[in-house]
């Protein structure tokens, strides 16, 4: 089992904010900054638990759950931060917790439901709080804080051995209820969220393929995958542009774009695709130098986002 570096990155940012030398905690746990501070990387679950133990020993009042509850301010979850800020209501996430947990745990956890209602869910997971006490404490806080991203009251989460219970309120008003246009379609926003989620997932997989020593797919084939990611992002731009043309001056639209942090998202996507492109060009120049003379391989990629 592996855990997302979103956990280690947010803890690192928290310790830095408290004036601690967070780099020493990383060193003590045996984690490299490159692996621990990239929210799209994955680490062995035991390594993350060890890191949290080191943080606990270095900071007297350290609490993994407290760090998770500060997620909206720490902004250590990468693109997940942006996705959560445009979620209309936390109810959908709490009724499908396995999808949210998949951002932090892989492979995906099988969930066995005990109870599922409008305000309470209880389910079993294969991970025990006894085996990973600090990780489970952090993830409990992550589940609790989801509601704050959409301006709702925080939920209450209990993780006891293999059982997770989530209790939340559903009487919070969505930001989209105020001055909604008659033709407002929430499904469009769901489409945007799904595209961003798919983009993040596939970009992460692509980066892993590039650094995997046993990966044998050629650079030209990976370029095709990169172009597919470009297509996903262009679709999301088209959706946002369509909404802007129809309701650009509406308060609900401005608030939604603000929560998405659209300008930053575009810059992040461009920076990451450019980084991958450079790696691919380097691979082409080193491993496929015999193809340089072929006109079909002399084309330069041009990303106009």
The band of 11, judged by pLDDT with boundaries at 50, 70 and 90, is very high
What percent of the chain has pLDDT above 70?
68
Residue 215 lies in a domain: yes
Question: What domain count does the chain have?
Answer: 3
Residue 281 lies in a domain: yes
- Considering the domain architecture, whether residues 158 and 187 belong to the same structural domain is answered as no
- Considering the domain architecture, whether residues 184 and 290 belong to the same structural domain is answered as yes
Per-residue model confidence as pLDDT tens digits over 136-165: 999 999 999 998 887 788 889 999 999 999
SS3 sequence, the chain?
Answer: CEEEHHHHHHHHHHHHHCCCCHHHHHHHHCCCHHHHCCCCCEEEHHHHHHHHHHHHHHCCCCCHHHHHHCHHHHCCCCHHHHHHHCCCCCHHHHCCHHHHHCCCEECCCCCEEEEECCCEEEEECCCCCCCCHHHHHHHHHHHHHHHHHCCCCCCEEEEECCEEEEECCCCCCCHHHCCCCCCCCHHHHHHHHHHHHHHHHHHHHHHHHHHCCCCCCCHHHHHHHHHHHHHHHHHHHHHHHHHHHHHCCCHHHHHHHHHHCHHHHHHHHHHHHHHHHHHHHHHHHHHCHHHCCCHHHCCCCCCCC
| pLDDT greater than 50 at residue 172 | no
More confident residue, 188 or 139: 139
- Considering the domain architecture, whether residues 225 and 191 belong to the same structural domain is answered as yes
Exposed / middle / buried, residue 287 (Cβ in 10 Å: 0-12, 13-18, 19+): exposed
* Listed residues 148, 167, 186: the one ending a domain: 167
- Considering the domain architecture, whether residues 291 and 183 belong to the same structural domain is answered as yes
Residue 119 lies in a domain: yes
Per-residue model confidence as pLDDT tens digits over 21-56: 888 999 999 999 999 999 889 999 999 999 999 999
Residue 31 lies in a domain: yes
* Of 92-96, 241-245, 267-271, 299-303, highest mean pLDDT: 92-96
Residue 302 lies in a domain: no
* Listed residues 44, 77, 110: the one ending a domain: 77
- In this prediction, residue 235 carries a pLDDT of 65
Residue 303 lies in a domain: no
- Considering the domain architecture, whether residues 188 and 291 belong to the same structural domain is answered as yes
* Listed residues 77, 96, 131: the one ending a domain: 77
Domain membership of residue 71 as a residue range: 2-77
- Considering the domain architecture, whether residues 192 and 272 belong to the same structural domain is answered as yes
Residue 305 lies in a domain: no
- Considering the domain architecture, whether residues 275 and 221 belong to the same structural domain is answered as yes
- Considering the domain architecture, whether residues 62 and 87 belong to the same structural domain is answered as no
Angle between helices 45-58 and 22-29 (to 10 degrees): 140
- Considering the domain architecture, whether residues 98 and 59 belong to the same structural domain is answered as no
Residue 137 lies in a domain: yes
- In this prediction, residue 284 carries a pLDDT of 57
pTM of the model: 0.64
- Considering the domain architecture, whether residues 185 and 281 belong to the same structural domain is answered as yes
- In this prediction, residue 93 carries a pLDDT of 83
> Nearest to residue 71, comparing CAs of 157, 171, 3, 154?
154
- Considering the domain architecture, whether residues 72 and 184 belong to the same structural domain is answered as no
Q: Does a cis peptide bond (omega within 30 degrees of 0) precede residue 107?
A: yes
More confident residue, 46 or 229: 46
- Considering the domain architecture, whether residues 116 and 210 belong to the same structural domain is answered as no
The band of 171, judged by pLDDT with boundaries at 50, 70 and 90, is very low
């Amino acid at each position: 089992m592996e855990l997302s570096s979103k956990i280690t990155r947010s803890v690192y940012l928290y310790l830095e904010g408290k004036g601690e030398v967070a780099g020493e905690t990383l060193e003590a746990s045996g984690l490299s900054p490159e692996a621990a501070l990239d929210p799209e990387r994955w680490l062995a679950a035991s390594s993350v638990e060890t890191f949290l133990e080191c943080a606990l020993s270095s900071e007297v009042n350290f609490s993994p759950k407290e760090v998770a509850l500060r997620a909206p301010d720490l902004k250590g979850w990468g693109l997940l931060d942006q996705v959560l800020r445009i979620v209309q209501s936390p109810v959908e996430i709490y009724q499908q917790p396995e999808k949210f947990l998949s951002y932090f745990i892989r492979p995906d956890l099988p969930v066995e439901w005990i109870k599922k209602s409008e305000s309470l869910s209880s389910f079993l997971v294969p991970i025990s709080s006894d085996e990973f006490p600090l990780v489970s404490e952090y993830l409990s806080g992550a589940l609790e804080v989801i509601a704050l991203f959409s301006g709702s009251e925080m939920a209450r989460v209990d993780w006891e051995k293999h059982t997770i219970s989530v209790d939340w309120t559903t009487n919070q008003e969505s930001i989209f209820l105020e001055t909604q246009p008659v033709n407002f379609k929430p499904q469009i926003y769901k489409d945007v969220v799904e595209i961003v989620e798919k983009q993040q997932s596939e970009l992460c997989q692509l980066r892993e393929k590039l650094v995997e020593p046993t990966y044998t797919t050629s650079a030209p084939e990976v370029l095709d995958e990169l172009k597919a990611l470009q297509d996903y992002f262009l679709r999301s731009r088209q959706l946002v542009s369509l909404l802007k043309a129809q309701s650009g001056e509406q308060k609900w639209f401005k608030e939604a774009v603000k929560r998405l942090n659209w300008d930053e998202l575009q810059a992040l996507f461009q920076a990451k695709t450019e980084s991958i492109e450079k790696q691919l060009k380097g691979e082409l120049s080193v491993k496929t130098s015999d193809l340089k003379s072929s006109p079909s391989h002399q084309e330069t990629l041009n990303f106009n986002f």
